[in-house]
Amino acid sequence: MKLYSFFRSSAAYRVRIALNVKGIAYETVSVHLVKDGGHNKRPEFRAVNPQMRVPVLVTADGNVLIQSLAIIEYLEETQPEPPLLPHSPLARAKVRALAELIACDIHPLNNTSPLRYLKREMSQEQSAIDAWYHHWVIEGFEALEALIEPGPYACGSQVTLADVCVVPQVANARRLKVPLDRFPKIVGVEQACLALAAFGRARPENQPDAE
Ligand SMILES: N[C@@H](CCC(=O)N[C@@H](CS)C(=O)NCC(=O)O)C(=O)O
């Protein structure tokens, strides 16, 4: 498989973790999201993903998949072991809720394109953009902190899709210096996950395109 990725992309980080958890080998194709206004805007990448975002997974038989959660659900369905979703429908709904809280409600507000839009089209100062970023992470993390049940992972004793989303979002928060002292459960989940090789190998600093 081939993964279009960028070391700092938290959505690509999710897919890297899922591939590692399931022991699926893949080749990284780096797409720099910042240099020259973003190599993701180049026609050759647009031809791969019309949305011009990473991650993109190209399967062994050449199918092109986009959207991290859809990609991870595909991996879960095609290679169920070890599972990233629990067995019972109720438990699955709870895991997916945490994943979506991050992927649908926090991450889109703090992504490269919207932040760039605030700066260029809305003429916002960097300090206002940083305040925006912190606000949405903190509001999301307050809910997450109340919802997770560390045991030691976000939803108990097994790694799930929730952890796959928590760890990259915490990495982003750390990079943008969001204070995390009010979120001991979230930090505990991060620490438990990062002790696992599948998460460690997926970290931004361990990618071939790391800067
Ligand atoms: N919902 C998408 C988000 C993908 C996404 O926005 N990726 C970011 C990097 S984390 C990106 O490529 N941004 C480029 C841009 O906004 O121009 C997913 O989960 O895959």
What global pTM score does this model have? 0.98
pLDDT of residue 108: 97
pLDDT of residue 84: 98
Report residue 37: phi and psi, to 5°. 80, 5
Indicate which residue's Cα is closest to atom 1 of ligand 1.
Answer: 67
- Residue 2, classed as helix, strand or coil, is strand
Bridging pattern class, strands 2-5 and 64-66? unpaired
- Residues with Cβ within 6 A of ligand 1? 9-11, 33, 38, 40, 53-55, 67-69, 103, 111-113
From the CA of 115, how far away is ligand 1's center (Å)? 12
Q: Work out which ligand 1 atom sits closest to the CA atom of 8.
A: 10
Mean pLDDT, the chain, as a whole number?
97
From the CA of 142, how far away is ligand 1's center (Å)? 23
* Percent of the chain at pLDDT exceeding 70: 100
pLDDT of residue 79: 98
- Residue 66: is its pLDDT beyond 90? yes
From the CA of 11, how far away is ligand 1's center (Å)? 6
From the CA of 82, how far away is ligand 1's center (Å)? 26
- Residue 60: is its pLDDT beyond 80? yes
From the CA of 68, how far away is ligand 1's center (Å)? 9
151 DSSP 8-state letter: S
Indicate which residue's Cα is closest to atom 11 of ligand 1.
Answer: 53
From the CA of 5, how far away is ligand 1's center (Å)? 10
pLDDT of residue 151: 86
Per-residue confidence at 149, pLDDT binned at 50, 70, 90?
A: confident
Q: What is the 3-state secondary structure (H, E, C) of 59-105?
A: CCCCCEEECHHHHHHHHHHHCCCCCCCCCCHHHHHHHHHHHHHHHHH
From the list 105, 34, 38, 41, the residue with the least C-alpha distance to 69 is 105
Per-residue confidence at 100, pLDDT binned at 50, 70, 90?
A: very high
Q: Per the structure block, which two tokens stand in for 180?
A: 């995390």
Per-residue confidence at 16, pLDDT binned at 50, 70, 90?
A: very high
* Percent of the chain at pLDDT exceeding 90: 98
- Residue 150: is its pLDDT beyond 80? no
Determine the distance from the C-alpha atom of residue 25 to the mean position of all C-alpha atoms in its chain, rounded to a whole number.
Answer: 19
Indicate which residue's Cα is closest to atom 19 of ligand 1.
Answer: 68
Average pLDDT over residues 104-116: 95
Indicate which residue's Cα is closest to atom 16 of ligand 1.
Answer: 113
Per-residue confidence at 70, pLDDT binned at 50, 70, 90?
A: very high
Q: Work out which ligand 1 atom sits closest to the CA atom of 10.
A: 10
Q: Work out which ligand 1 atom sits closest to the CA atom of 69.
A: 19
Q: What is the pLDDT of residues 32-41, one digit of tens each?
A: 999 999 999 9
From the CA of 114, how far away is ligand 1's center (Å)? 10
What single-letter amino acid sits at 107? H
Q: What is the pLDDT of residues 176-205, one digit of tens each?
A: 999 999 999 999 999 999 999 999 999 999
